[in-house]
Amino acid sequence: MEENKKVVMGEEGIYDARSLGTGKMLVLGFQHVFAMFGATVLVPLITGLSVSTTLLMAGLGTLLFHFITKGKVPAFLGSSFAFLGGFAIVAPKLADANGEFTIPNTEMLPYACGGVVAAGLVYVVVALLIHLFGVKKVMRFFPPIVTGPIIISIGLILAPSAITNAATNWLLAVIALATIVVCNIWGKGMVKIIPILLGVLVSYAVALAMGAVDFAPIAEAQFIGSPVTPSAFAKFDLGSILTILPIALAAMMEHIGDVAAISATCGKNYIADPGLARTLLGDGLATSLAGFFGGPANTTYGENTGVLALTKVYDPKVVRIAAVVAMLLSLSPKFDAIVNTIPTAIIGGISLILYGMISAVGVRNVVENQVDFTKSRNLIIAAVILVSALGFNSVGGITLYSSESLTISLSGLAIAAILGIVLNAVLPGNDYEFGKDLQGDTSANLQV
């Protein structure tokens, strides 16, 4: 009798989606694509990277992550917002004929991607340390009093570019912003899970009505083509690496929070099995792979965790279907061109809330981990990180060495991260213990 029991989505957890049939599995896979799409393509639109390359690397990175984690964790890896600050410093967009910063910095983007490759390798090193010494000993060096202010700094450094982009058409920017707020606060079901995608669609429809969309690039693009361009492959420069490398600290906290959230959603402890060392290794290698081929860093997506909670279908095979769909979409330059017709002002409106929420997540990370600011050590660490990140960024960082053939410099974020880690290590009173509070462990999710 038990074998003939009908499986119903949404009533109880389903760990083998084959019981639902092939048709429903495909529909569920496409639902995961919708959940990740808005945020995943937003990163290349902001940075100037290729949308096609980004989608390909998201799909490949997800499959690589599933392979390394033994196919146990139902996570989708999309573009990471954490690294936007690094791209803004290393490869800021260039001004067009109207003085608007809309032209991708193709000369410097490969060097930013080289920094992403190196950042992914930081994950690999930390994964190895966790495997050797255990997660609690390693995480004592990266407590919320260090990572929280770094996350706050990332959002604040990006704030001026959001205003600059939104100022090109405030009406479109406000519509995009308002749509995200309405969907996120009052939306139900999938509407609440895909606010960025809906923000783009609604404001894009208004832009069409206003005649603010240029269709010329769509007509020129081919239907099928290669999603990667050799000229966009990663290049390596020590200054760019040192700028982007510290962001890995914030991104790793996001990863740990996402894995903890997926564990809570699915009712399985993925931090124990397959283990945080494996999940970090998978995320790190996926990030390095993406950076090498000219894509943004990858990260586990909270949006797709929302889909897991909504459907109660926890089978990783469904997420792998979404990964394959993303790779198929990457094969169409025409699709890439359509995405790139989104007006700059819409990106600005979305960035207004996105960058602010990145900083707000940093505050949340500190608050939910109950960091005690009555302690002088914590005040000192936070103060040094915030002032160093913003202050040194405003003057272009510091140059350690310069010659005709080599320049070594540190960005504000790099200086802040180094000082924060060192101060946390040498000042007495570090009482942080990873894993004692699920709410604190899941508080560093940078996705909207």
331-361 pLDDT per residue, tens: 999 999 999 899 999 999 999 998 998 899 8
The answer to whether the beta carbons of residues 84 and 46 sit under 8 Å apart is yes
Handedness of CA 26, 32, 38, 39 (dihedral sign): negative
Q: Which of 28, 59, 26 is nearest to 327 (CA)?
A: 59
Segment among 120-124, 215-219, 391-395 with least mean pLDDT: 215-219
Beta strand 298-300 with 77-79 is antiparallel
In this prediction, residue 367 carries a pLDDT of 92
Quick one: how far is CA 281 from the chain centroid? 16
Beta strands in 67-118 (DSSP E): 77-79, 94-95, 101-103
The CA distance from 171 to 345, in Å, is: 8
- Comparing 13-22, 24-33, 72-81, 385-394, the range with the smallest average pLDDT is 13-22
Residue 10: the pLDDT is: 54
Contact 300, 262 (CB under 8 A): yes
Q: How far apart are CA 144 and CA 350, in angstroms?
A: 27
Type of residue numbered 412: G
298-300 and 398-402 beta bridge pairing: unpaired
Give the H or E element holding residue 398: strand 398-402
pLDDT at 439 over 50: yes
Q: What is the pLDDT of residue 135?
A: 85
Query: Is residue 440 over pLDDT 50?
Result: yes
Distance between CA atoms of residues 139 and 279, nearest Å: 15
Neighbours of 429 (CB within 10 A): 11
C-alpha to C-alpha distance for 401 and 410, rounded to whole angstroms: 10
Which residue's entry shows tokens 């109660």? 312
Helix axes 144-166, 412-426, angle to 10 degrees: 160
Which stretches of 94-172 are assigned E, i.e. beta strand? 94-95, 101-103
pLDDT tier, 447 (very low <50, low <70, confident <90, very high otherwise): low
| pLDDT given at position 264 | 85
Most confident of 130-139, 147-156, 318-327: 318-327
Residue 277: HSE in the Cβ half-sphere, 13 Å Cα cutoff? 12
User: Are residues 266 and 74 in contact, defined by beta-carbon separation less than 8 angstroms?
Assistant: yes
Residue corresponding to tokens 């569920």? 28
**What contacts 80, CB < 8 A, 6 or more positions away?**
43, 251, 254, 287, 296, 297, 298, 299, 446
The mean pLDDT of 121-131, rounded to a whole number, is 95
Under the banding of pLDDT at 50, 70 and 90, the label for residue 421 is very high
Whole-angstrom Cα distance, residue 29 to residue 34? 9
- Asked if the model's pLDDT at residue 2 lies above 50, the reply is no
φ, ψ (nearest 5 deg) of residue 268: -135, 145
CA distance 371 to 362: 12
Count helices and strands (H / E) in the chain. 20, 6
* Residue 313 DSSP code: B
pLDDT at 306 over 50: yes
Counting beta carbons within 10 angstroms of the beta carbon of residue 228, is it exposed (0 to 12), middle (13 to 18) or buried (19 or more)?
middle
Judged against a pLDDT cut of 60, whether residue 19 lies above it is answered with: yes
Residue 435 parent element (H or E): none
**Model pLDDT, residue 1:** 38
Q: What is the mean pLDDT of residues 288-292?
A: 97
Classify each residue of 134-162 as buried b or exposed e, where b means 16 or more C-beta atoms within 10 Å of its C-beta. Answer: ebeebbeebbbbbbbbbbbbbbbbbeebb
Gap between the Cα atoms of 283 and 80, Å rounded: 11
Cross-strand pairs, 101: 95
Determine the 3-state secondary structure of 401 from DSSP. strand
User: DSSP assignment, residue 18?
Assistant: G
Query: What tokens appear for 110 in the block?
Result: 């490969």
CB-CB contact of 336 with 52 (8 Å): yes
Q: State the pairing for strand pair 407-410/398-402.
A: antiparallel
